[in-house]
Structure 1
Amino acid sequence: MKTPVFAIDVGYGNTKYAYRAAGGTIATGMFPSLAPLAASRTISNYGESVLPARKVATIRIDDVEYEVGPDVALTAAYGNTGRTLADDFVLSDNYTALLAGAFHFSGVTQIERLVLGLPVHNMQRYSAELKERFAGDLSFGQARVRVEKTIVVPQPLGSLVLASSNRQNEFGRDSAHLVIDVGYFTTDWVYANGFTMDDNRSGGVPGGASQIYQRIAGLISKDQGEPVDDIERIDKALRERTPFFFYGSDIVLAPYVEQSQPLINAIVKEIQNVVGRLPNVRSIILSGGGAALYASAIRKAFPRVLIEIIDAPCLANARGFLAVGEAGLARDRK
C-alpha cells in the first residue's frame, strides 16, 4: 500500500502511528514499545485451530529476530520484557524493530514522507541520524518499505498542531500556548507563539510516567513483602482504570499514585522554572500517556491558565505529526 504521509511516534511506553486511509479518514494504531527476542521455537501455533493467534510480528534486525505487536507479552519470567529506557533509545535495535512493526501492521510499503518525533532535548543530537537511517529502501524481514524522505519534529509539536485544528482562531502569531507532553520516560514541553517555538522556554527532562509506575511498584512491594517488576501491567491498569492483580488480590492503585505525588511535583517545578508564570498564555495543552497522572499537579502550578487535555492523548502526537507531514508535502508540491 502506498501512502503520501506516514507518521510514527515511537515512544518509550507505546508505539503509535497514523496515516490517511481510503476515503480520507485517519487510521491509527498502537502497540506496546516492547521488543523481546523472538522465541527460538513456537508452540502457540499448534493450537491455532482452537485458540486465536496472537497479533505479533517477527522483525529481523542484523540477523536477530524480535517480536513486536499489540499482543506482545507484557510480562517476562525475570522482568526482561524488551523495554528500553535509555536516552539513546532511538539508536537501538529495539527502536528500529518497533518502527518496522508500525510499517507491518499498517500494511504500508511506499511512503513519500515519513514523520518521526524526538524528545525536545534530543532533537539536535539525533535528528540528522534518524533522517538518514530511515530513508530509502528498508527491509526488516516481514516489513519492507520504500521511504522517499524522512522528517523529524519535536514530539510536543504534534500535540500543538492537533489542538490548533479544533481552535484555529486561537493560534495566531501573537497567541502563546504551552504544550506539555508527558511520555513514558521523558516529559517535554514546547512554548510557542502561534507555531513558532521559543527555544529558551521549551525543554524536556527524563522523568515521565514510568518513574511513577516504578515508585508504585516499590510501594506495593513494600506492602506485599514481594518484589514487583510488572510496571507494564501497572501502566495498563492505570490507563484502563482497573485494579492491579497481584498474587490473588485486586490492588487499588489510587492511594499509591497519591504517595508518588512528590515525584510529579518535582517535574512540574522544573517546567515552572523554565517557562515562568504564564500570564500571557492562552492555554496549556496536555498530552501523552501520562497526561492524567500529571494533570492535577499542573493545575495547581498554573491555576489561572486554561488547561486542555487532548482526547486520546496517547495518539495525539502521531495524529499531529500526520498533519505536519501533509502540510509540508502540500507546500513541496506547489
Structure 2
Amino acid sequence: MKTPVFAVDVGYGNTKYAYRDANGAVTTGIFPSLAPLAASRALSAYGESVFPTRKVAKISIGGIEYEVGPDVPITAAYGRTGRALADAYVSTDNYAALLFGAFHFAGVTHIERLVLGLSVHNLETYSTELKLQFAGEHDFGHGRVVVEKVVVIPQPLGSLAFAASGRRGGFGRDDAHLLVDVGYFTTDWICARGFTMDDNRSGGIPGGASHVCQRIAKLISRDEGEQVDDIERIDKALRERAPFYFYGKKIDLARYVALADPIMASVATEMQNEVGRLHDIRSIILSGGGAALYSIAIRHTFPRAVIELIDSPCLANARGFLLAGEAGLARERGAT
C-alpha cells in the first residue's frame, strides 16, 4: 500500500501510528514498545489450531530477529522484556524494530512522508540521524518498503495539532496554550501562541510513567522482601485500574502511587521553573499515556490554570503528526 503520509510515535511505552485509508478515514494502531529477541523455537505455533494466533511479527535488524506487536509478552524472566529506557533510545535496534513493526502491521510499502516525533530535549541531538537512517529503501524481513522523506517534529506539537483540529475556537494566533506530553520515560512541554513555539518556555526532561512504576516496584520489593521487576505489569494495572498480583497476593497500588508523589511533583516543579506561573495562557492541555497519572501533581503546581485532558491522549501525538505531515505535504505540492 502506498500512502502520502505515515505518522509514527515510537514512544518508550507504546508505539502508535496513524494514516488515512483509501476512503480518507484516519486509521490508527498501537502496540507495546517491547522488542525482545525472537525465540529460537516457537512452541506456541503448535497450539495455533486450538488457541488464537498471537498478533506479533519477527523484524530483522542487522541479521538479528526481534519480536514486536500487540501480543508481545509484557513479562519475561528477570524483567528482560525488550524495553529500552535511555536517552539514546532512537539510536537502538529496538527503536528500528518497533518502527518497522508499525510499517508491517499497517501494510505500507511506499511512504511519501514519514513523520516521526522526538522528545524536546533530544530534538537537536537525534533529528538529523533519524532523517538519514530511515529515508530510502528498507527490508526488515517482510518485503521492501520505500520512504521518500522523513520529517521530525517535537512530540508535543503533535498533540497541539490534534487538539486544534477538533475545536472551532481557542486556537487563534494570539491564543496561548501549554501542551504537556507525559510519556513513559520523558515529560515534554511546549508553550505555543497559536502554532508558534516559545523556545524559552518549552523543554523536556526524563520523568514519566516508568519512573513512577519503578518507584512502586522498589516499594513493593521492600514490603514483600523480594525483587519486583514487573514494571510493565504495574503500568498496565495502573492504566486499566486492574488488580496487581504478586505470587497470587492482590496488592493495592493506590497507596504506592501516593508514596511516589514526590517523583511526579519534581517533574511538575521543574516544568514550572521553565514556564512560569502561566497567567498568560488559556489552558494546559495534557497528553500522553502518563497524563492521567501526573494530572494531580500538575494541578497542585498550577492551581489557577485551566487544565484539559486531551481525547485519546495515548494516540494524540500520532494523529497530530499525521495532520502536520499532511499540511506540510500540501504546502510542498502547492509550491511546485
Q: Partner residue of 2:7?
A: 7
Q: Partner residue of 1:179?
A: 179
Once the two structures are superposed, the pairs formed by residues 180-259 of structure 1 within 5 Å of their partners are: 180-259=180-259
CA distance in 2, matches of 1:29, 1:233: 21
Extract unaligned runs of 5+ from structure 1.
none
Give the 3-state SS of the residue equivalent to 2:122 in structure 1.
helix
- The alpha-carbon deviation at position 143 of structure 1 amounts to 5.5
Give the 3-state SS of the residue equivalent to 1:8 in structure 2.
strand
Q: Partner residue of 1:20?
A: 20
Q: Partner residue of 2:158?
A: 158
Q: Partner residue of 1:146?
A: 146
Task: Say how many residue pairs are matched.
Answer: 334
CA RMSD, aligned part only? 0.9
Give the 3-state SS of the residue equivalent to 1:24 in structure 2.
coil
Give the 3-state SS of the residue equivalent to 2:23 in structure 1.
helix
Per-residue Cα deviation, 1:110-143 (whole angstroms, up to 9, x for no partner): 1111000000011111101101111111111125
Q: Partner residue of 2:279?
A: 279
Q: Partner residue of 1:119?
A: 119
- The alpha-carbon deviation at position 210 of structure 1 amounts to 0.5
Q: Is the 8 A contact 1:9 1:17 kept in 2?
A: yes
- The alpha-carbon deviation at position 245 of structure 1 amounts to 1.5
Give the 3-state SS of the residue equivalent to 2:303 in structure 1.
coil
CA distance in 1, matches of 2:144, 2:233: 31
CA distance in 1, matches of 2:48, 2:169: 53
Per-residue Cα deviation, 1:153-208 (whole angstroms, up to 9, x for no partner): 00000001111112242111211100010011111000111001111100000111
Q: Partner residue of 1:50?
A: 50
Q: Partner residue of 1:303?
A: 303
Extract unaligned runs of 5+ from structure 2.
none
- The alpha-carbon deviation at position 22 of structure 1 amounts to 2.6
CA distance in 2, matches of 1:194, 1:168: 13
Write the letter of the residue equivalent to 1:96.
A
Q: Is the 8 A contact 1:16 1:29 kept in 2?
A: yes
CA distance in 2, matches of 1:135, 1:147: 5
CA distance in 2, matches of 1:333, 1:316: 26
Q: Partner residue of 1:94?
A: 94
CA distance in 2, matches of 1:164, 1:43: 48
CA distance in 2, matches of 1:212, 1:90: 22
Give the 3-state SS of the residue equivalent to 2:71 in structure 1.
coil
Write the letter of the residue equivalent to 2:332.
D
CA distance in 1, matches of 2:308, 2:91: 33
Give the 3-state SS of the residue equivalent to 1:125 in structure 2.
helix
- The alpha-carbon deviation at position 304 of structure 1 amounts to 1.6
CA distance in 2, matches of 1:195, 1:60: 39
Q: Provide the identity percentage.
A: 70
Give the 3-state SS of the residue equivalent to 1:170 in structure 2.
coil
Q: Could you tell me the TM-score, scaled by structure 2's length?
A: 0.98
Write the letter of the residue equivalent to 2:288.
G
Q: Is the 8 A contact 1:31 1:69 kept in 2?
A: yes
Q: Partner residue of 1:74?
A: 74
Q: Is the 8 A contact 1:158 1:321 kept in 2?
A: yes
Once the two structures are superposed, the pairs formed by residues 97-112 of structure 1 within 5 Å of their partners are: 97-112=97-112
Greater shift after overlay, 87-96 or 39-48? 39-48
Write the letter of the residue equivalent to 2:325.
G
- The alpha-carbon deviation at position 322 of structure 1 amounts to 0.4
CA distance in 2, matches of 1:143, 1:37: 20
Identify if the C-alpha distance between structure 1 residues 144 and 255 changes in structure 2 by more than 3 Å, giving closer, same or farther. Answer: farther
Per-residue Cα deviation, 1:74-105 (whole angstroms, up to 9, x for no partner): 11112111100110100100000000000001
Q: Is the 8 A contact 1:57 1:142 kept in 2?
A: no
